[in-house]
Amino acid sequence: MTEAQDNTPKLVFIQKIKSFLMEKTKTPCLPLKCVPQKTGPFDSKIGGEPYLPPGFAYPTVNPSAVQSNPSKQQKKNIGGDGATPSPLKLLAQLNFDTLPRVPDFPTTGILQIYIDPADGSLGHDYENMMDQSHWRIIYHPTIEHDEAKLQKPPHFPETEELPFEEEHLIAPETLIEAAINPFDYRYDSLVEEAFSEEASELGLDITEIIGEFYEQALNALDTTNNHQIGGYPSFAQEDPRHNTQYQDCDTLLLQINSDEKIMWGDMGIANFFIRRDDLKACRFDRVLYNWDCS
């Protein structure tokens, strides 16, 4: 018997796993292109000047958080007097009035994510990834379209630390159906639960099968580490939802990858996760923010 013939049962089984995952775990995903160019206040974008409606209180670092966590002490207070809370900087803005519809996501309004440009971790708190003291997510359910009524953002020094040097227009691609990939913490247990008994009956080791299928699964099931809304995440290291306190954050809200113009540390990836029920209710006060790099 040749080696190819000997591997036939395993290859057939791997194909069966792939078909199962494609059928059972598909979820809508909107890949995004980030194009370096000047943007307007209503655009979906990375960086740049945010949409600031009249009466909106510009987001700042939580002063009590800085006092209680010396490791987050800022290098330079952007307010200038040592007491004024430092303003956050726009990371991303999504205008759902103009983006293609993604099931369960808002259909109107503007969603904004701000981060702390004076913090070396870009606002990320490794001990509590849902603490928005040094970052903020804000949803404007309605949009003031009279640009003359909008506010201007505060001035930021050139020493700010951001994962990009220039603003980018977010250009949506075609909505696709993505299947779970091996980066997701649920992947191994899902495959084992569905196929361990059948694999055993065929004399196959399901753990070995999962290992051998890893690269094929990335190619067949992953969305190639996109900037994206929805779908399944990618990571430079591992899924933070291995920690049980974050496992109810079951939906990828937004993923921003590294590319030629955007860089999270050393080719890292940023993810924002939310509970599906909170997403449907447009409730964004309980969001998980993670970024890691190699």
Bridge partners of residue 263, in order along the sequence:
none
User: Which residues, 6 or more positions from 196, have their beta carbon under 8 angstroms from its beta carbon?
Assistant: 206
**Quick check: 1 pLDDT over 80?**
no
Token pair listed for 135 = 């970052």
- Write the CA distances from 227 to 6, 113, 135, 170, integer angstroms: 40, 15, 20, 9
Crossing angle between the packed helical segments 214-221 and 8-24, to the nearest 10 degrees? 40
168-211 pLDDT, tens digit each = 999 999 999 999 999 999 999 999 999 999 989 988 899 988 88
| pTM of the complete model | 0.90
245-282 pLDDT, tens digit each = 999 999 999 999 999 999 999 999 999 999 999 999 99
Mean pLDDT of the chain: 89
Mean pLDDT of 110-125: 95
**What is the fold of 3-292?**
Hypothetical protein YwqG fold (2.30.320)
68-105 pLDDT, tens digit each = 455 555 444 444 445 678 999 999 999 999 999 999 99
pLDDT of residue 34: 97
What residue ranges do the domains of the chain occupy?
Answer: 3-292
- Give ∠ CA 173-179-185 in degrees, rounded to 5: 115
Mean pLDDT of 13-32: 91
**Quick check: 226 pLDDT over 90?**
no
Mean pLDDT of 25-47: 96
pLDDT greater at residue 79 or residue 156: 156
